[in-house]
Amino acid sequence: MERVKIGIIIHPLNTESFRDLFPKIYTFFGNWILKFLDDSFITHNIVRIPPHKIMHVCNLIHNNYEIEILGVLLPIFPRQMLIEKENTIKKIIDCFKIFEQENVNIITLAGFTSIVTNGGRDVSKMTSIPITSGNATTAVLASMALEKEAGRHGKKVRELSVAIIGATGDIGSICARIYSKKAKFLRLCSRTISDDSEICKKLKAEGFDQFVCFTDAREAVSDADLIIAAASSVDALLGYSDFKEGSIICDIGMPPNVSFEKSGLTSFPAKKTLFFGGTSELPFYKKIFDSKWKSFFPQNAIYGCLTEAIILAFSKRFDLVSLGRGEISSENLEGLADLILKYRIFPAVKYL
Ligand SMILES: NC(=O)c1ccc[n+]([C@@H]2O[C@H](COP(=O)([O-])OP(=O)(O)OC[C@H]3O[C@@H](n4cnc5c(N)ncnc54)[C@H](OP(=O)(O)O)[C@@H]3O)[C@@H](O)[C@H]2O)c1
C-alpha cells in the first residue's frame, strides 16, 4: 500500500463565508458567538490568528493508496491579501512549516494564495515540498465541464462563440488555448488585455486569429454562447441580465465572478445555465466521513487545485506541477489531462 499525504492551504473568501465555516470548524464555539462579532471586528482581527491545522482526513483507502489530506487555514480574506501581500507571503511560509512537520508529499495553494504568489512561483523555493497552484487541472476540468454541459443542451462547441473572462490570467489563458482548438470564435476579456497580450500573441503564433479582445466583462459576455468566468476579482463582475438567452456559464472564480445579487435574483432561471466549475468528482468521495471535510466539500465538487495535488501525488509526477502565469507547456497540459482520465476523475457541474 502506498501512502500519499496532501496539504492544502485554505482561506475564507469574506466575512460571510467565515460566518458560515467558523461554527463548523470550531464546533466548541458554536454559532451564537458570531452574533456578538460585527464584520469589521472579524476583518480587523482575523489577521491576528496564526495559520493552523483545521482538517485532517485520514484512514482513506482507495485502490492501492492510503490517502491523507491535511488542511491548514490561512486566516485572511482575499481583499486583505492583495493589500498586505508581504505579510500574506510570510503567513504562507508559516503554512509550509506546518506541512514540513507533517511530512506531506505535495502542497496545493487554494484560491487567492496562488494569485498573490504569482501562481506559486514566488514561494516555490521556500519549501522543499513540491507545491502547485493546480491551475492547469482547474482549467482542464472547467473546459471539460463546459463542453459536457453544451453537449447536454444539444450544442456543438465548434459552432459557438466562447467568452473567457480573465483571459490573460493563468487559468483563463489555458482555457483560451483549449477552446482555440474547439470553438468557432473567442471573446477574450481582462481589464488590461490587448492584441499585444501574451495570450493573444500565443494564439496567433499557433495559427488562431478568430478572437476579439474586451476590457469590459459585460460586453464580452453579451453575445457569447458559452462563458468561462475566471477573473481574480474580489467582487462579482456579472449578473443574470448580462448574458444572452440560452448561454451556459461556468464560473470558476473564488470568490465567484457571477452574482445573484447583481441580478436581483435568488437563483438563476432555467433560460441560462450557470454552474460552479473547475472542480472534480473524486471516485473515493463517498469513503470520506470527516465532518470538517464535509463542511468544505458538502458535495462531490472538489477544487481543481486539490484534484491536481491528488493526481500528482498518486502518480509521483511532481514535474507536472502548475506554477507561475501562462507558463504551462502543451506537453504538461496533456500529461495532466491523461492523469485525470487515468484516475477516473470527472468534471463536477454544481448548478447555482
Ligand atoms: N474553482 C476552482 O477549483 C479554482 C481553483 C483555482 C483558482 N480558482 C479561481 O480562479 C480565478 C482565476 O485564478 P488565476 O490563478 O487564473 O488568476 P490570475 O492568474 O491572477 O488571473 C486573473 C485574471 O483575471 C483578470 N481580472 C481581474 N480582475 C478583473 C476584472 N475586474 N475584470 C476582468 N478581468 C479581471 C486578470 O487580468 P487583468 O488584471 O488584466 O484584469 C487576469 O486575466 C480566481 O478567482 C481563483 O480563486 C478557482
The predicted structure's pLDDT at residue 302:
97
Task: Name which of 298, 324, 340 is nearest 144 in CA terms.
Answer: 340
Q: 22 falls in which pLDDT band (50, 70, 90)?
A: confident
Domains in the chain: how many in total?
2
- Report whether 257 contacts 171 (CB < 8 A): no
Q: Which H or E run contains 314?
A: helix 304-315
Q: Ligand 1 centre from 112 Cα, in Å?
A: 9
Q: 269 falls in which pLDDT band (50, 70, 90)?
A: confident
Q: Which of 262, 278, 294 is the last residue of a domain?
A: 278
Residues 119 and 203 in one domain: no
Among 11, 190, 238, 310, say which to mutate for ligand 1: greatest number of ligand atoms within 8 Å of CB.
190
- The answer, yes or no, to whether any atom of ligand 1 lies below 6 A from the CB of 166, is yes
pLDDT, tens digit (0-9, with 9 covering 90-100), for 2-14: 999 999 999 999 9
Structural domain boundaries enclosing 184: 141-278
As a dihedral over the C-alpha atoms of residue 138, residue 139, residue 140, residue 141, rounded to 10 degrees, the angle is: 50
Q: Which of 226, 247, 278 is the last residue of a domain?
A: 278
- The answer, yes or no, to whether any atom of ligand 1 lies below 6 A from the CB of 72, is no
Share above pLDDT 90 across residues of the chain, in percent, rounded to a whole number:
86
Please state the atom number of ligand 1 nearest to the C-alpha of residue 233: 28
Q: Which H or E run contains 126?
A: none
The predicted structure's pLDDT at residue 141:
97
Please state the atom number of ligand 1 nearest to the C-alpha of residue 304: 3
Q: Which of 223, 256, 278 is the last residue of a domain?
A: 278
- Residue 304 C-alpha cell reads as 481543481
pLDDT, tens digit (0-9, with 9 covering 90-100), for 71-128: 999 999 999 999 999 999 999 999 999 999 999 999 999 999 999 999 999 999 999 9
pTM of the model: 0.95
- Residue 186 C-alpha cell reads as 473567442
Residues 341 and 266 in one domain: no
Report whether pLDDT(164) > 70. yes
Which residues have a Cβ under 8 Å from the Cβ of 213 and sit 6 or more positions away?
A: 167, 188, 189, 193, 194, 195, 197, 200
